[in-house]
Chains A and B, each alone.
Chain A
């Protein structure tokens, strides 16, 4: 505690540079970046410039936004973080796809949890047709085949209304 407050007074925060696959560089405090396990291990190995060949600039910008906000997490701003998370997962599946792949690669557990839960929530209780639309899946069943598969798991399709909305 004492050492961290003295270093912030003197401005001696350790900085790291993340480099996206597009070649853009982002300078960040180490304390923010170590939420990411993959980078944390590289820092421990003495790296200060970290090339991320699997993460493009657009995705990295979003991930940095997430890490910065979550580095501010305290006991008193839980509600604020919750609202931030809610806003963060809005967007098309294309965006979520890039984010969840990057979160998995970078081992950011909190972000992985958030995104997987959000994608699961988008599937849960949706009609088959809505799931296809949301996740860009084309139906490769013939009507007869689809009927047969549906019959095999009839119990799963029974009871309750299925949500047709595409959000």
Chain B
């Protein structure tokens, strides 16, 4: 009896005519809310707000489209991940060891969980190690990655060269020049007032 009833209940569900929610042509929806925007547009909008405003918005309604958790969303890289620098809420991560040919570098927005992997220059045999820095150039309004490459030549002291990658332009690393004071991966660095400072 019970089974029969539940069967009837089920079929009853399907008897309900399916309503079309698509507005017919020519009628404009007058009560669209910001929550009807696709997620990609919402992220575009919210990423222009200060963090305080983003959290305030959570109180607007339950369905506020961006999931806000106190957790940061990092790329799934496992335990071999090191922080290179952080800047304006973005973080730059190193996966692997900087003296190892197979390391990779990521830029991540931990708040929205977006990230991308940078295309690194081909690893040359004479490279002994590299050191990275990540910063925002106030002069150009662009994010830049610095890559200090130490090269060994037989019988000569090590040479350090600076390479620069500008985010969002192309995938080229511009070789700036040799640097007189090489920095090390282990140096502390801090980004203050538009400049990256390395500290021994």
Contacts and interface: CB of A to CB of B under 8 A. Distances in A.
Main secondary structure of the interface of A (DSSP, over half): helix
A57 to B, nearest CB: 10
A88 interface: no
Contact of A140 (B48, B63, B68): B63
Interface of A: 21-22, 56, 58, 93-94, 97-98, 100-101, 104, 112, 116-117, 119-120, 123-125, 128, 131-132, 135-141, 145-146, 149-150, 152-153, 155-157, 162
Contact of B48 (A21, A117, A131, A156): A117
Contact of A137 (B25, B51, B61): B61
A58 B41 CA distance: 21
Interface of B: 25-26, 28-38, 40-41, 44-46, 48-63, 68
B59 A149 contact: yes
26 contacts: A22-B26, A56-B28, A58-B28, A93-B34, A94-B30, A97-B36, A98-B28, A101-B38, A104-B41, A112-B44, A116-B41, A116-B44, A120-B48, A123-B45, A128-B57, A132-B61, A139-B60, A140-B63, A141-B62, A153-B55, A153-B56, A153-B59, A156-B53, A156-B54, A156-B58, A157-B59
A101 B41 contact: yes
A97 B36 CA distance: 9
A22 B24 CA distance: 11
